[in-house]
Copies of this chain bind each other. A is one copy, B any other.
Amino acid sequence: MLTIGRLGQAAGVKVPTIRYYEQIGLLPPADRSAGNQRIYDRATLDRLSFIRHARELGFSLEAIRDLLSLSDKPDQSCAAADAIAKAQLQAVQARIARLRALQTELHRMIDQCACGTIRDCRVIETLGDHSLCAQDHGAEA
């Protein structure tokens, strides 16, 4: 049996975050001690560790909610879990592609800067005039 602080330490999650997860229903309402303090068991630690790991991999809380409810039904097909993971992989790949375009453009911008005055600064100039860009770098990161 764990207090919220120990649970947080064990799972690598901050205490207010645990309370937040409870509030939004990602964790079930915790049992309380005589003095109204939350007490947790090992199963909750596992669940919280799952959440933390999924967050580290970039899953949204919504996706995690789905994954958790799947993991509670061991006999079902895991196709749905797979689909969520694949969507996440695609999202990650899209973000990488976009960031690479940004990286290129930022590099170009910085390389061209002769580091004189603002008047001649390519960084400022390039920002002001999109047509100076070599590539597209659409919206949304």
Chain B: minimal CB distance from A101 (Å): 9
- Report chain B residues within 8 Å CB of A109: 85
* A1 touches B (CB below 8 Å): no
- Report chain B residues within 8 Å CB of A95: 95, 99
Task: Evaluate contact between A76 and B117: CB separation under 8 angstroms.
Answer: yes
Chain B residue at smallest Cβ distance from A51: B127
The oligomer's copy count stands at: 2
Choose among B76, B99, B120, B139 the residue that contacts A96 (Cβ–Cβ < 8 A): B99
Task: Evaluate contact between A50 and B93: CB separation under 8 angstroms.
Answer: no
Bitwise interface map of A from 82 to 102 toward B, beta carbon under 8 Å scored 1, else 0: 101110110011011001101
In angstroms, Cα B137 to Cα A45, docked, is 20
7 closest A-B pairs by CB: A78-B121, A74-B119, A89-B106, A50-B128, A81-B123, A71-B124, A85-B123
